[in-house]
Amino acid sequence: MTPPRLPFMAPDQPIRHLEVPLETQILGMVDYQEMWDRQAELALARAHNEIPDQLLFLEHPSTYTAGKRTQPEDRPTNGLPCIDVDRGGRITWHGPGQLVCYPIIKLVEPVDVVDYVRRVEEAIIQVVRSFGLSQAGRIDGRSGVWLPAPERKIAALGIRVTRGVTMHGLAINCDNTLEYYNHIVPCGIDDAGVTTLSAELERDVQPNEVIQPLAQALAAAFSGELVVADHSFASRGI
Protein backbone atom coordinates (compact mmCIF):
# COMPACT_ATOMS: atom_id res chain seq x y z
CA MET A 1 0.00 0.00 0.00
CA THR A 2 1.28 3.48 -0.81
CA PRO A 3 2.30 5.34 2.37
CA PRO A 4 0.24 8.43 3.21
CA ARG A 5 1.54 11.68 1.74
CA LEU A 6 2.77 14.44 3.98
CA PRO A 7 0.10 16.97 5.04
CA PHE A 8 0.03 20.39 3.38
CA MET A 9 0.47 22.05 6.79
CA ALA A 10 3.19 21.22 9.32
CA PRO A 11 1.79 18.86 11.97
CA ASP A 12 2.05 21.50 14.71
CA GLN A 13 0.35 24.21 12.65
CA PRO A 14 -3.38 24.99 12.88
CA ILE A 15 -5.82 23.88 10.19
CA ARG A 16 -8.43 26.40 11.33
CA HIS A 17 -8.14 30.14 11.90
CA LEU A 18 -7.27 30.45 15.60
CA GLU A 19 -8.43 34.06 15.82
CA VAL A 20 -11.96 32.73 15.30
CA PRO A 21 -13.60 31.28 18.45
CA LEU A 22 -14.48 27.59 18.58
CA GLU A 23 -17.91 27.27 20.15
CA THR A 24 -19.41 24.10 21.61
CA GLN A 25 -23.11 23.33 21.41
CA ILE A 26 -24.67 20.41 23.31
CA LEU A 27 -27.95 19.68 21.57
CA GLY A 28 -29.30 16.49 23.12
CA MET A 29 -31.41 14.17 20.96
CA VAL A 30 -32.01 15.57 17.45
CA ASP A 31 -33.70 14.00 14.40
CA TYR A 32 -31.12 13.14 11.73
CA GLN A 33 -32.78 14.93 8.80
CA GLU A 34 -33.40 18.01 10.93
CA MET A 35 -29.74 18.10 11.96
CA TRP A 36 -28.52 17.55 8.40
CA ASP A 37 -30.55 20.56 7.24
CA ARG A 38 -29.22 22.59 10.16
CA GLN A 39 -25.66 21.61 9.36
CA ALA A 40 -26.06 22.87 5.81
CA GLU A 41 -27.35 26.22 7.07
CA LEU A 42 -24.49 26.56 9.56
CA ALA A 43 -21.85 25.57 7.01
CA LEU A 44 -23.09 28.21 4.60
CA ALA A 45 -23.08 30.82 7.35
CA ARG A 46 -19.55 29.82 8.35
CA ALA A 47 -18.38 30.03 4.73
CA HIS A 48 -19.65 33.62 4.68
CA ASN A 49 -17.91 34.35 8.03
CA GLU A 50 -21.27 35.01 9.68
CA ILE A 51 -20.69 32.60 12.60
CA PRO A 52 -17.62 31.18 14.39
CA ASP A 53 -16.40 27.60 14.15
CA GLN A 54 -18.72 25.13 15.88
CA LEU A 55 -18.59 21.74 17.56
CA LEU A 56 -22.09 20.26 17.66
CA PHE A 57 -22.56 17.40 20.14
CA LEU A 58 -25.74 15.33 20.03
CA GLU A 59 -27.41 11.96 19.76
CA HIS A 60 -29.80 10.76 17.08
CA PRO A 61 -32.86 8.55 17.28
CA SER A 62 -32.19 5.16 15.69
CA THR A 63 -31.27 5.89 12.05
CA TYR A 64 -29.34 4.23 9.24
CA THR A 65 -27.40 6.59 6.96
CA ALA A 66 -25.69 5.67 3.70
CA GLY A 67 -22.70 7.63 2.39
CA LYS A 68 -21.80 8.06 -1.25
CA ARG A 69 -19.81 4.80 -1.47
CA THR A 70 -22.54 2.56 -0.06
CA GLN A 71 -23.13 -0.66 -2.01
CA PRO A 72 -26.52 -2.41 -2.35
CA GLU A 73 -25.34 -5.35 -0.25
CA ASP A 74 -24.46 -3.00 2.64
CA ARG A 75 -28.04 -1.85 3.20
CA PRO A 76 -30.36 -2.85 6.09
CA THR A 77 -31.99 -6.26 6.08
CA ASN A 78 -34.47 -5.45 8.87
CA GLY A 79 -36.76 -3.16 6.85
CA LEU A 80 -35.84 0.05 8.68
CA PRO A 81 -35.45 3.16 6.52
CA CYS A 82 -32.05 4.37 5.42
CA ILE A 83 -31.21 8.00 4.61
CA ASP A 84 -28.83 8.60 1.69
CA VAL A 85 -26.44 11.41 2.61
CA ASP A 86 -23.74 13.47 0.91
CA ARG A 87 -20.83 12.49 3.18
CA GLY A 88 -18.03 10.14 2.28
CA GLY A 89 -17.91 6.53 3.37
CA ARG A 90 -20.56 3.82 3.29
CA ILE A 91 -23.36 2.81 5.62
CA THR A 92 -23.59 3.22 9.38
CA TRP A 93 -26.09 3.42 12.22
CA HIS A 94 -26.76 6.24 14.67
CA GLY A 95 -28.84 5.94 17.80
CA PRO A 96 -29.25 6.61 21.52
CA GLY A 97 -26.09 6.03 23.54
CA GLN A 98 -23.81 6.97 20.66
CA LEU A 99 -22.12 10.38 20.85
CA VAL A 100 -22.15 12.23 17.54
CA CYS A 101 -20.03 15.33 16.90
CA TYR A 102 -20.39 17.53 13.84
CA PRO A 103 -17.54 20.05 13.53
CA ILE A 104 -18.52 23.06 11.41
CA ILE A 105 -14.97 24.31 10.83
CA LYS A 106 -13.60 26.63 8.16
CA LEU A 107 -10.28 25.09 7.14
CA VAL A 108 -7.22 27.13 6.27
CA GLU A 109 -6.01 27.06 2.67
CA PRO A 110 -4.82 24.99 1.01
CA VAL A 111 -7.62 22.75 2.25
CA ASP A 112 -6.30 19.30 3.20
CA VAL A 113 -9.16 16.89 3.80
CA VAL A 114 -6.87 13.95 4.57
CA ASP A 115 -5.06 15.93 7.26
CA TYR A 116 -8.39 17.00 8.74
CA VAL A 117 -9.54 13.37 8.96
CA ARG A 118 -6.26 12.28 10.56
CA ARG A 119 -6.52 15.06 13.16
CA VAL A 120 -10.08 14.06 14.04
CA GLU A 121 -8.93 10.45 14.41
CA GLU A 122 -6.03 11.58 16.60
CA ALA A 123 -8.40 13.42 18.92
CA ILE A 124 -10.65 10.37 19.24
CA ILE A 125 -7.69 8.06 19.87
CA GLN A 126 -6.47 10.26 22.70
CA VAL A 127 -9.94 10.36 24.28
CA VAL A 128 -10.54 6.61 23.99
CA ARG A 129 -7.11 5.93 25.46
CA SER A 130 -7.79 8.35 28.32
CA PHE A 131 -10.75 6.16 29.29
CA GLY A 132 -8.37 3.22 29.69
CA LEU A 133 -8.27 1.58 26.24
CA SER A 134 -4.56 2.04 25.58
CA GLN A 135 -4.54 -0.08 22.40
CA ALA A 136 -6.93 2.20 20.49
CA GLY A 137 -5.48 3.17 17.14
CA ARG A 138 -5.78 3.07 13.36
CA ILE A 139 -5.97 0.45 10.67
CA ASP A 140 -4.26 1.80 7.55
CA GLY A 141 -6.73 1.82 4.68
CA ARG A 142 -9.75 2.10 6.98
CA SER A 143 -11.05 5.28 8.57
CA GLY A 144 -12.14 5.55 12.17
CA VAL A 145 -10.69 4.38 15.46
CA TRP A 146 -10.18 0.70 16.18
CA LEU A 147 -9.17 -1.83 18.82
CA PRO A 148 -7.04 -4.85 17.89
CA ALA A 149 -7.24 -8.63 18.27
CA PRO A 150 -9.96 -9.05 17.21
CA GLU A 151 -10.26 -5.87 15.16
CA ARG A 152 -13.35 -3.91 16.14
CA LYS A 153 -14.38 -0.32 15.48
CA ILE A 154 -15.26 1.96 18.37
CA ALA A 155 -15.61 5.24 16.45
CA ALA A 156 -16.64 6.01 12.87
CA LEU A 157 -15.98 8.99 10.61
CA GLY A 158 -17.80 10.37 7.58
CA ILE A 159 -17.18 13.91 6.39
CA ARG A 160 -17.90 16.41 3.66
CA VAL A 161 -16.08 19.67 2.95
CA THR A 162 -17.98 22.33 1.04
CA ARG A 163 -16.75 25.88 0.41
CA GLY A 164 -13.82 25.01 2.66
CA VAL A 165 -16.13 24.22 5.60
CA THR A 166 -16.46 20.79 7.22
CA MET A 167 -19.79 18.99 7.69
CA HIS A 168 -20.84 15.64 9.15
CA GLY A 169 -18.16 14.21 11.40
CA LEU A 170 -17.71 11.42 13.90
CA ALA A 171 -19.59 9.02 16.14
CA ILE A 172 -18.22 7.29 19.25
CA ASN A 173 -20.04 4.23 20.53
CA CYS A 174 -20.56 4.84 24.25
CA ASP A 175 -23.37 2.74 25.75
CA ASN A 176 -25.51 2.11 22.68
CA THR A 177 -26.86 -1.24 21.56
CA LEU A 178 -24.96 -3.07 18.82
CA GLU A 179 -28.05 -4.95 17.62
CA TYR A 180 -28.71 -2.62 14.68
CA TYR A 181 -25.25 -3.26 13.23
CA ASN A 182 -26.24 -6.90 12.71
CA HIS A 183 -28.56 -5.88 9.85
CA ILE A 184 -26.03 -3.94 7.75
CA VAL A 185 -22.41 -4.24 6.65
CA PRO A 186 -21.07 -1.45 8.88
CA CYS A 187 -18.96 0.98 6.86
CA GLY A 188 -18.87 -1.70 4.15
CA ILE A 189 -16.48 -3.82 6.25
CA ASP A 190 -17.53 -7.44 6.70
CA ASP A 191 -14.37 -8.87 8.30
CA ALA A 192 -14.26 -6.85 11.53
CA GLY A 193 -16.53 -6.09 14.45
CA VAL A 194 -18.05 -3.12 16.26
CA THR A 195 -17.83 -2.31 19.95
CA THR A 196 -18.60 0.35 22.58
CA LEU A 197 -16.73 2.04 25.42
CA SER A 198 -19.12 0.43 27.89
CA ALA A 199 -18.56 -3.10 26.56
CA GLU A 200 -14.79 -2.71 26.57
CA LEU A 201 -14.53 -1.09 30.00
CA GLU A 202 -17.26 -3.25 31.58
CA ARG A 203 -18.97 -0.18 33.04
CA ASP A 204 -21.58 2.22 31.75
CA VAL A 205 -20.03 5.12 29.83
CA GLN A 206 -22.67 7.62 28.81
CA PRO A 207 -22.20 10.12 25.96
CA ASN A 208 -22.17 13.08 28.35
CA GLU A 209 -18.95 11.74 29.92
CA VAL A 210 -17.16 11.97 26.59
CA ILE A 211 -18.22 15.45 25.43
CA GLN A 212 -15.76 17.59 27.40
CA PRO A 213 -12.61 15.53 26.76
CA LEU A 214 -13.53 15.15 23.09
CA ALA A 215 -14.16 18.91 22.69
CA GLN A 216 -10.76 19.62 24.23
CA ALA A 217 -8.96 17.04 22.10
CA LEU A 218 -10.57 18.26 18.86
CA ALA A 219 -9.65 21.86 19.66
CA ALA A 220 -6.06 20.78 20.34
CA ALA A 221 -5.89 18.75 17.12
CA PHE A 222 -7.24 21.59 14.99
CA SER A 223 -4.79 24.08 16.55
CA GLY A 224 -1.74 21.82 16.10
CA GLU A 225 -1.23 21.40 19.84
CA LEU A 226 -2.15 17.72 19.53
CA VAL A 227 0.09 16.36 16.78
CA VAL A 228 -0.93 13.36 14.67
CA ALA A 229 1.15 10.31 15.56
CA ASP A 230 1.49 6.83 14.09
CA HIS A 231 -1.01 4.69 15.98
CA SER A 232 -1.52 2.12 13.21
CA PHE A 233 -1.49 -1.51 14.30
CA ALA A 234 -2.61 -3.09 10.99
CA SER A 235 -3.04 -2.41 7.30
CA ARG A 236 -5.99 -3.41 5.14
CA GLY A 237 -6.91 -2.80 1.51
CA ILE A 238 -9.52 -0.15 0.77
Please identify every residue annotated as catalytic.
Answer: 187
Distance of CA 9 to the CA centre of its chain: 21
Q: Which residues fall within 8 angstroms of residue 58, CB to CB, at 6 or more apart?
A: 26, 27, 28, 29, 30, 35, 100, 102
Question: Secondary structure of 105-137 in the HEC alphabet?
Answer: CEECCCCCHHHHHHHHHHHHHHHHHHCCCCCCE
Residues 6+ apart with CB under 8 A from 134: none
* Percent of the chain as helix, strand, coil, to the nearest 5: 30, 30, 40
